[in-house]
Amino acid sequence: MNGTRTGAPLVTSHDSSHESSQESPFVDFDREAWARLGENTPLPLTAEELDRVRSLGDEVDLDEVRQVYLPLSRLLTLHVQEGGRLYRAYRTFLGAATARTPFVIGIAGSVSVGKSTTARLMQLLLARWPQHPRVELVTTDGFLHPNAELERRGLMTRKGFPESYDRRDLLRFVTEVKAGRAEVSAPVYSHLVYDIVPGERSTVRRPDILLLEGLNVLQPAQPAREGGPALAVSDFIDFSVYVDAATDDIRRWYVERFLRLRETAFRDPDSYFRRYAALDEAGAIARAESIWAEINGPNLERNILPTRGRASLVLRKGPKHDVTGIRLRKV
């Protein structure tokens, strides 16, 4: 986190340089101190598996998995286990044999910050713990309105902003998962065609853990119409992770990824962005900077970054895209 000193196991809250760790509701770790929490835990992941889940431009390696994500998977397993104990106590108290509902983990952060890699890594690591072998991952991209609807509403240039999502359907999905329904389905999004895939659904079937990854999963509830009860997806999340970095670094990573995609996915004839494949490097940089300035940057500053303080845990990345510090909310 800001102000982290190398080798210091704990640092003060970056919200106030005068706070002690005892006075803050958070505990800050540098990477070295955090890594010690995962010592003696075998790494159930191969380099080939890591290659399959790593996003374009994300340089996470096995050392970072061992030092950052393995301790996080251990912490999350403790939370899931404690949730199980609480469930059994509730069942005894209520005298009802209701089934335990999935433990929902929200993963939030900006475009290009690495939240998708984090989500896929956590799915893989958490499923290797014997306590919860059934781990599902759903991204909120599937709950974006189809492009035709965004065009109708004049929202194509605000894709990714909260108003571009079918928030009612997303809330329906999460509430049905937490209600314990046997099967709950979600729409499927294609990054290649940049749109919802018509008629295609993904289905989750009472997993032990559901990872919900997206830009705005930590947003609070919007005021309800006519003074009725207001609910948000974040109300049904049991633990949340925010992947954080300096805005200038995220912007640079976005531009770098755009340039790589220009040489790869953008060349696919079915790609929505195929028109950018023909740009020279200067033109591609200018277009990426323009998209960031008009869409992704404002969305980060206005909608995503303000939710960081609501997270249970923040992974702070440095300029090289590696996690340098961890902030954990006290319990």
pLDDT digits (tens, 9 = 90+) for 66-75: 999 999 999 9
The answer to whether 112 is annotated as binding is yes
The answer to whether 116 is annotated as binding is yes
Rounded to 5°, the CA angle 51-53-57 comes to 75
pTM (2 decimals)? 0.90
Mean pLDDT of 85-111: 90
Q: Which CATH class is domain 37-329?
A: alpha beta
pLDDT of residue 55: 82
294: its two tokens: 């008009």
| pLDDT digits 0-9 by tens, 246-296 | 999 999 999 999 999 998 999 999 999 999 999 999 999 999 999 999 999
The answer to whether 320 is annotated as binding is no
Q: Which helix (H) or strand (E) holds 107?
A: strand 103-109
pLDDT of residue 222: 80
The answer to whether 11 is annotated as binding is no
pLDDT of residue 228: 61
The answer to whether 55 is annotated as binding is no
| pLDDT digits 0-9 by tens, 146-157 | 999 999 999 999
DSSP 221: P
Q: How far is CA 306 from the centre of its chain?
A: 15
Other C-beta atoms lying within 10 Å of the C-beta of residue 79: 16
Q: In whole angstroms, give the CA distance from residue 74 to residue 71.
A: 5
pLDDT of residue 79: 94
The answer to whether 17 is annotated as binding is no
